[in-house]
Amino acid sequence: MTLEIITTDSLSPIRHGFFTRRGGASSGVFEGLNCGTGSSDQIEAVTINRARVADAMGVGEHDLMGVYQVHSPDVITVTGPSKDRPKADAMVTATPGVALSVLSADCQPVLFADTEAGVIGAAHAGWKGALDGVLEATLDAMENLGASRANTCAVIGPCISQRAYEVGPEFFEDFIAQDMAFARFFANGEDGRYQFDLPALGLHRLREAGVGTAEWTRHCTYSDAERFYSYRRATHNKDADYGRLIAAITLGPSG
């Protein structure tokens, strides 16, 4: 099966993609394109999957860069290929020949590009990372490389949607304690619970930060098991583990 790659005209002509789980070598609960080296999947299968992604992005296997994601606002500036996976949740670069990637399984994968300046970024933004400022920090780091926020496009890829994201009153109260305006991201659910709109939070933070374009691909990871991995769905199904989706962006070959 061939890879399925979700792209958007907003990031063109920069090569990019939000990869679904289709077209991979993994099996069982990981069936498909599991790119999570931290999962309990067979490392051989994950290696094959990541090699297929690198090939689709037009870079070498070792040029597909990633970080050890920890739900932080920390950003790494990439200047060339490296085997290191520092703890962070976003990367930026102005260097051709490498592809920046983030993993997700309900959290927001966000790809950034200022095509005029030739600066790109990739961020992993769950509710904690988004609240702590990982999206704004990514834009700051891109500006340090010469990007302009007004010329930057940011696209949120497949993530959990509001209708699938039920949270308890404590979660709601923690948000409201920070800013009463955050109530806009919650809808009343059943039995005193709430439905949280993660991509709406991401879009709000991006637009408040001054990006030229911010959009969501409108794909829900929880609701489409054939195409996407989902941590929450795996938890509800009592699965032993879950796969990780990958999103990547590159300025193209070096030289």
- Asked if residue 89 belongs to a domain, the reply is yes
- Cα distance between residue 17 and residue 13, in whole Å: 12
Count of structural domains within the chain: 1
Output the domain CATH number for residue 115. Answer: 3.60.140.10
The tens-digit pLDDT sequence of the chain (255 residues) is 699 999 999 999 999 999 999 999 999 999 999 999 999 999 999 999 999 999 999 999 999 999 999 999 999 999 999 988 999 999 999 999 999 999 999 999 999 999 999 999 999 999 999 999 999 999 999 999 999 999 999 999 999 999 999 999 999 999 999 999 999 999 999 999 999 999 999 999 999 999 999 999 999 999 999 999 999 999 999 999 999 999 999 998 876
Write down the residue that tokens 């949607």 correspond to. 161
The boundaries of the domain holding residue 217 are 5-161+197-250
Q: How many CB atoms lie within 10 A of CB 48?
A: 14
- Asked if residue 184 belongs to a domain, the reply is no
- Asked if residue 181 belongs to a domain, the reply is no
Q: Give the Å distances, CA to CA, from 1 to 30, 131, 204, 219, 230.
A: 15, 38, 37, 21, 21
- Asked if residue 180 belongs to a domain, the reply is no
What is the b/e burial string over 21-34, where b = at least 16 CB atoms within 10 angstroms of the residue's CB?
Answer: bbbbbbeebbbbbb
- Asked if residue 186 belongs to a domain, the reply is no
